[in-house]
Structure 1
Amino acid sequence: MQVVPRQGGELAVGGAAEQVTEAWLANRRLSEHTRAAYRRDVAAWLGWCAERGVEPLRASFLDVNAYARGLEARRLAPATVARKLSGLSSWYDFLVKLRAVDGNPVGGADRPNVSRDHSSTVGLSPDEVDALLRSAAENGPRSNAVMTILADLGLRVGELVGLDFGDLGWERGHRTVRFVGKGGKPRRRALTPGASEALDAYLGVRGDREGPLFMTASGARLDRHAVFRLIRRLAAEAGLPGADKLSPHSLRHAFATTARSEGVALEDVQDAMGHADPRTTRRYDRDRHNLDRDPAYMIAAARARRAGG
């Protein structure tokens, strides 16, 4: 694709800019949710440029800095600002490859410092997860199946709502579910007995055995927004604190924390969650700084056993 800037190197907010964005997204393995977020981020930047008379193809790192400070003034979390700038940087990298710009202005910009050890997601304790699942079971088969699979498998909400009935199967005695994970990577996980039982109860009342796995009453695919609303409503009914701040990701964090607390190896939790970097998995583990898990205790206990033997 050839990008031809408008007069003076200006890139139109529509037309060529939209074509560039779609070509850029087509060259990356991304979920549809991520694609939509990147489209919004680029559109927001182009809108900011238009309002200030900045030509996107001639923007400098000073312009990007001003844009970032404006985002921070809206009290967006540093991680959110960093994510928006990361997407914008990738967009400009694509323009560099197309030779539409000489350099990436985001590369020299002042990005927020985001600690890999911090997450803004509200977590849940094992007791709170149990209370949430009890509330889901009382709400009905679909709610129970959705929440149990999120809790037991730690799936991303996009992975859950993207499931089709045909993704269910069996492998070496394990009931499994296959899906496309982050980065377009095909993945499969084993369903726990509880998740399998909850799913069968839901499928028993749904009847239809084709199409989306989780459907609305009208037959449409259940979407991520409905799952967000569901978890907050169920949490409120269960009397959980901060129910209005919970998200499906809260159950993903709880999955990682509980798995590590139960002694599951970091690399196994990493594989289950589909993380490319183990540092990401560690960030999900809310209990990683618990002194009860200090390896010094295990070393001392092993030494005591040797001395006693």
Structure 2
Amino acid sequence: MAPASKLAIAADLDCWIAWCAHEHRRPLPANPEDLVRYLRGLEADGKKPATLTRRVASLATVHRMLELGGEMRPTSAPMVRNALRANRRRIGAAQRQAAPLRFGGELGQARGFTISALLAACSGDVQGMRDAALLSLGYDAGLRVSELTSVEIKDLRPQPDGTGLLHLPRSKTDQEGLGAWAWLSADTMRRIALWRSESGIDEGVLFRRVGIDRRRQRAKEIADARWGEASEDAVLLVTYTVGDRPLTRQGVTAIYRRIALAAAHAGLVDLPAGELDAHIAALSTHSLRVGLTQDLFAAGEDGAGIALTLRWSSPSTALRYGRQLQVQSGVAARVLGRIRS
């Protein structure tokens, strides 16, 4: 299993055991009636249908691993499946998705933050070069954050025309390591080359933490203020240190949101007054992947091709992220758009 899957199963098992302890019930093997009461309790606590489904799936995995429940495991009992269906009917099965980071620019205007705006907001220092390469590669390849933070120099294959290929040795949907490939634009390859040149990274993981040392800058500003002198050259005293460890999921989210704030302050995005904080908070490590999916739908590509390109487990997942845009480029829009314009 992927590490994230094991952590999710462990957390779900802890939740179930805690509920059983409170209710004085036996946790394993589970009793179907107890599972139904457990699901009702989760619904009363405001948990979403997707959470309830995942909790039952985790318990099914535990029963299967421990060979509990025989052929008819309690998690597959009709009353449990009906309880899940009833929950979806009452609450609705729509899931909240990450805010998309679409490309914008030549691919059409998109409301809110775009890759084009964020790239324009990246600074020209070492940190900004890393951020631009991170955004550009993550968007081109539609990477999950686990894939993005594990990209290594050896995975990059420059092509004669300036583009590149990225080898993905393992991913969420490829736990056996069959491998996959993703295409990278010439612009992305140039940004990667610039980041590598400034950081001195020749091997190992590509995206790493950049430490910024401003202590000497602050000391000079204090001295300048004391003697009444200007501090125009204080910025020259800033030093950057490229670490050895890869970025974390939390670090990537922080980078996206920091650049988005800089883009807003630079006037590169058009957002209604009072919505800036909400738009920034909606950005996540999945935003690039959702943005590319929506851009491909907007360009008229079909769900099967998008699912194959972005390594979705099924076309239905891609369709969920591009449902509205798929309608705009679907058969009704193409046919009726010609005769009812």
TM-score, normalization: structure 1?
Answer: 0.77
- After TM superposition, the structure 1 = structure 2 runs for residues 150-169 of structure 1, keeping only pairs within 5 Å, are 150-169=138-157
- After TM superposition, the structure 1 = structure 2 runs for residues 127-206 of structure 1, keeping only pairs within 5 Å, are 127=110, 128-129=113-114, 130-136=116-122, 140-170=128-158, 175-179=164-168, 180-183=170-173, 184=175, 185-206=178-199
Matching residue of 2:100:
123
CA separation of 1:71 and 1:135: change in aligned 2, threshold 3 A:
farther
The structural deviation recorded for 1:210 is 1.6
Q: Is the 8 A contact 1:175 1:190 kept in 2?
A: yes
Matching residue of 1:208:
201
The structural deviation recorded for 1:124 is 4.0
The 1-side partners of 2:326 and 2:301 are apart by 16
Q: Secondary structure at the match of 2:260?
A: helix
1:105 maps to a residue whose letter is P
Q: Secondary structure at the match of 2:244?
A: coil
1:193 maps to a residue whose letter is A
1:216 maps to a residue whose letter is R
Q: Is the 8 A contact 1:236 1:243 kept in 2?
A: yes
The one of 285, 303, 306 equivalent to 2:322 is 285
Q: Is the 8 A contact 1:163 1:214 kept in 2?
A: yes
The structural deviation recorded for 1:150 is 1.9
The 2-side partners of 1:301 and 1:122 are apart by 28
Q: Is the 8 A contact 1:145 1:195 kept in 2?
A: yes
The one of 288, 308, 320 equivalent to 1:251 is 288
Matching residue of 1:87:
58
Query: Which 5+ residue runs of structure 1 have no aligned equivalent?
Result: 1-29, 304-309
Matched, 1:105 2:142: no
The structural deviation recorded for 1:63 is 1.7
The structural deviation recorded for 1:297 is 5.0
The 2-side partners of 1:79 and 1:287 are apart by 21
* Comparing 193-202 and 260-269, the one that deviates more: 260-269
Query: Which 5+ residue runs of structure 2 have no aligned equivalent?
Result: 105-109, 211-242, 265-270
* Comparing 176-185 and 67-76, the one that deviates more: 67-76
Matching residue of 1:77:
48
- What do the CA deviations read for 1:282-302 (whole angstroms, capped 9, x no partner)? 1111533544x2424544688
Matching residue of 1:238:
263
The 2-side partners of 1:79 and 1:136 are apart by 36
Q: Secondary structure at the match of 1:123?
A: coil
The 1-side partners of 2:284 and 2:260 are apart by 10
- After TM superposition, the structure 1 = structure 2 runs for residues 12-51 of structure 1, keeping only pairs within 5 Å, are 30-51=1-22
The structural deviation recorded for 1:115 is 6.8
Q: CA RMSD in A?
A: 2.8
CA separation of 1:68 and 1:202: change in aligned 2, threshold 3 A:
farther
The 2-side partners of 1:61 and 1:82 are apart by 15
Q: Secondary structure at the match of 1:288?
A: helix
The 2-side partners of 1:220 and 1:54 are apart by 45
The structural deviation recorded for 1:281 is 0.9
Q: Is the 8 A contact 1:150 1:248 kept in 2?
A: no
1:107 maps to a residue whose letter is S
CA separation of 1:148 and 1:52: change in aligned 2, threshold 3 A:
same
Q: Is the 8 A contact 2:156 2:167 kept in 1?
A: yes
The 1-side partners of 2:288 and 2:133 are apart by 14
CA separation of 1:141 and 1:254: change in aligned 2, threshold 3 A:
same
Percent of aligned pairs sharing the same letter = 25
The one of 242, 246, 254 equivalent to 1:221 is 246
- What do the CA deviations read for 1:163-216 (whole angstroms, capped 9, x no partner)? 222211246865211121223252111111122122112111221212212112
* Comparing 251-260 and 130-139, the one that deviates more: 130-139
Flag the structure with larger Rg: 2
**How many residues were matched structurally?**
271
CA separation of 1:116 and 1:145: change in aligned 2, threshold 3 A:
farther
Matching residue of 1:8:
none
